[in-house]
A = this chain, B = another copy of it.
């Protein structure tokens, strides 16, 4: 629970009285994302999420129906990948890696999703859908042969999610201590190669 989350709407808003339905839904989603991030899917309870959002647990169920559905909605996020189609080929790796750090550094959503996906089948399905569709589409726009897009997106995901895992979830000291600028320099050629090198399977 964030400081802000704990104080927001205390008192009069309890029970959703003065909040619009939209504001209530947003407060629930914020609280759910924080809780799933901190506790993982299994330990995060509807009761705790409702307490964080300062509303009654029955309201959470009224708006979202079930914990699984709440998670699916909380994790229904947009990677907001940039359109890379105008980027010169030799800048693709650096552009995608830089974007990754701009987006995820200091945002707990991706670690939360990885934690949940590691131990929960619907969390894993959610991550598969997000990366297959969004990253697959972004990569498909820039690779020479679109039929190779899924495999190239998979390889890109293996490195970027590996960074997310080691830096934000497992917190391996050398991966935590390295600056984003140095990490970008290390990772850009890797991502570039996954996007542009000939596929060994096509030979």
Contacts and interface: CB of A to CB of B under 8 A. Distances in A.
B128 A153 contact: no
Interface string A113-145: 011011100001001100110000000000000
A38 to B, nearest CB: 10
- Give the interface centre of A171, A179, A186, A194 by most chain B CB atoms within 10 Å: A186
A154 interface: yes
Interface string A163-203: 10111011111110111011001100110011001011100
Main secondary structure of the interface of A (DSSP, over half): helix
B43 A172 contact: no
Contacts of A174: 150-151, 153-155
A174 to B, nearest CB: 3
A172 B118 contact: no
A11 to B, nearest CB: 34
Interface residues of A, number: 50
Nearest to A149: B174
A132 to B, nearest CB: 7
Interface string A52-76: 0000000000000000000000000
Contact of A175 (B157, B165, B177): B157
A119 B115 contact: yes
Interface string A80-103: 000000000000000000000000
B169 A118 contact: yes
13 contacts: A40-B42, A40-B119, A42-B42, A43-B119, A128-B170, A151-B178, A154-B173, A158-B175, A159-B190, A161-B170, A162-B166, A181-B200, A190-B190
Given A128-B170, A158-B159, A158-B166, 10 more contacts: A114-B165, A118-B118, A132-B172, A154-B175, A155-B174, A157-B162, A157-B166, A161-B162, A161-B170, A182-B201
